[in-house]
Amino acid sequence: MGQSFNLQGILQSFRVLASPRLMVPNIVVRDIRDINFEQLHKAGIIAIAFDKDNCLTKPYGLELHPPFTDAWKRCRDIYKDQVVIVSNSAGTPDDKDNQQAQAIEQTLQVNVLRHQEKKPSGGQELLKHFSGIKAGRIAFVGDRALTDVVFGNNYGMLTILTRDVVTEEGDNPMALRIRRMEHKVLAFLDRMDVKAKPHPIPIDIHAVVLQSPPAPESKEEAKADLAAEDTRKKEAKESEEREAKHERAKRASVRGGAPTSATSATTTTHQETSQANTNSNIGGGTGGFSTQVEPQILSHEEGEGWERTVTQVPGEEPVHSIKLAGHNKGIPGRR
Ligand SMILES: [Mg+2]
């Protein structure tokens, strides 16, 4: 089952443009294993709600991500009935007969909120579920800044962002792209020192977070460094290939230059047209190894009393020579 179009989510995004701190969580963890539920409860957060996809299960999954088993048990032991899942798929009108919600309640052993409005809207439905508990004493945990965090912040809950997703495999392609963009924006806001609105209950982050993820900017910088290194390697390889190709072409030209039968006349003409200085002779002379690059004949025409030859040394412009009867020297010209 997928998710239908979330118009309210898009509209709420415009609010975030006006107030970016709405998408900044109070706490960031790698995943739910890094939440010290006991300390969180002691601090005064007496109810807790979770997003499902990529926070507790794989996208659209019905079972808890196995590595989270111990953490999930600790959470349920401490919060007991004051735990609920608020998903934008299960328990919404997209979930036919709440089949998915019921299946998750069986496997995860907690309630799944039935709600009409999708996050980041619909906070009243959650507050109604936790009747009598003030929003400031509820934590909302999720992997998405523009849905889960904005949802919690909109209603004054303590917001906890899980930054390492369960898996991107099978995720909604749009959600996947938006989440990556959210992480970049959060890193930027962090650099700009944009903080979440202070929560009414003072929370000692060091007590409730077992292990913090690396600072977002270091992760972003590490990615940028890797990308720059990839680009450098690619450019070096392309440059090497270009040089090798050029070298091969040069060698082929030397090997397969103008045919011997035509070379004498053409070479003479070429030399006579003062193009000889373009040739490189190293160790020439009798017995020497010549790397002279012979010009190639591009065309040769003969008429009564005239010859017209076009030659070219690889890498240079073609030379156009006309030899008239009675003249020893060709008349050079360029195309
Ligand atoms: Mg999610």
Q: What's the 66 CA to ligand 1 centre distance in angstroms?
A: 17
Cβ neighbours of residue 248 closer than 8 Å, sequence gap 6 or more: none
Residues in the chain: 335
pLDDT value at position 5?
A: 61
Q: What's the 155 CA to ligand 1 centre distance in angstroms?
A: 18
Query: What are the two backbone dihedrals, phi and then psi, of residue 55, each rounded to the nearest 5 degrees?
Result: -120, -45
Q: Residue for token digits 């209950």? A: 201
Longest dimension (CA), the chain: 115
Q: What's the 71 CA to ligand 1 centre distance in angstroms?
A: 18
Q: What's the 120 CA to ligand 1 centre distance in angstroms?
A: 12
pLDDT value at position 327?
A: 57
Residue 163 CB neighbours (<10 A): 20
From first CA to last CA, the distance across the chain in angstroms is 69
Cβ neighbours of residue 115 closer than 8 Å, sequence gap 6 or more: 86, 91, 92, 122, 125, 126
Contact yes or no for 330/269 (Cβ under 8 A): yes
Contact yes or no for 140/148 (Cβ under 8 A): yes
Q: What's the 199 CA to ligand 1 centre distance in angstroms?
A: 23
Q: What is the CA radius of gyration of the chain?
A: 37
Q: Which fold has domain 7-222?
A: Rossmann fold (3.40.50)
The residue ranges of the chain whose pLDDT is under 70 are 1-10, 216-225, 253-293, 326-335
Burial 16-52 (b: 16+ CB within 10 A, else e): beeeeebbbbbbbbbbbbbbbbebbbebebbbbbbbb
Contact yes or no for 200/156 (Cβ under 8 A): yes
- The reported pTM is 0.64
54-63 pLDDT tens trace = 999 999 999 9
Q: What's the 283 CA to ligand 1 centre distance in angstroms?
A: 74
pLDDT value at position 229?
A: 72
Contact yes or no for 47/86 (Cβ under 8 A): no
pLDDT value at position 30?
A: 96
Cβ neighbours of residue 270 closer than 8 Å, sequence gap 6 or more: 276, 295, 311, 319, 321
pLDDT value at position 265?
A: 39
Cβ neighbours of residue 32 closer than 8 Å, sequence gap 6 or more: 50, 55, 56, 68, 71, 72, 75, 141, 162
pLDDT value at position 290?
A: 41
Cβ neighbours of residue 50 closer than 8 Å, sequence gap 6 or more: 32, 56, 83, 84, 85, 86, 140, 141, 142
Identity at 264, one-letter amino acid code: S
pLDDT value at position 92?
A: 94
124-173 pLDDT tens trace = 999 999 998 999 999 999 999 999 999 999 999 999 999 999 999 988 88
Please choose, from the candidates 312, 284, 283, 280, the residue with its C-alpha nearest in 3D space to the C-alpha of residue 296: 312
Percentage above 90 pLDDT, the chain: 52
Please choose, from the candidates 165, 163, 158, 164, the residue with its C-alpha nearest in 3D space to the C-alpha of residue 205: 158
CA 144, CA 147: separation in Å to the nearest integer?
A: 6
Q: What's the 1 CA to ligand 1 centre distance in angstroms?
A: 14
Q: What's the 83 CA to ligand 1 centre distance in angstroms?
A: 17
pLDDT value at position 200?
A: 93
Q: What's the 77 CA to ligand 1 centre distance in angstroms?
A: 23
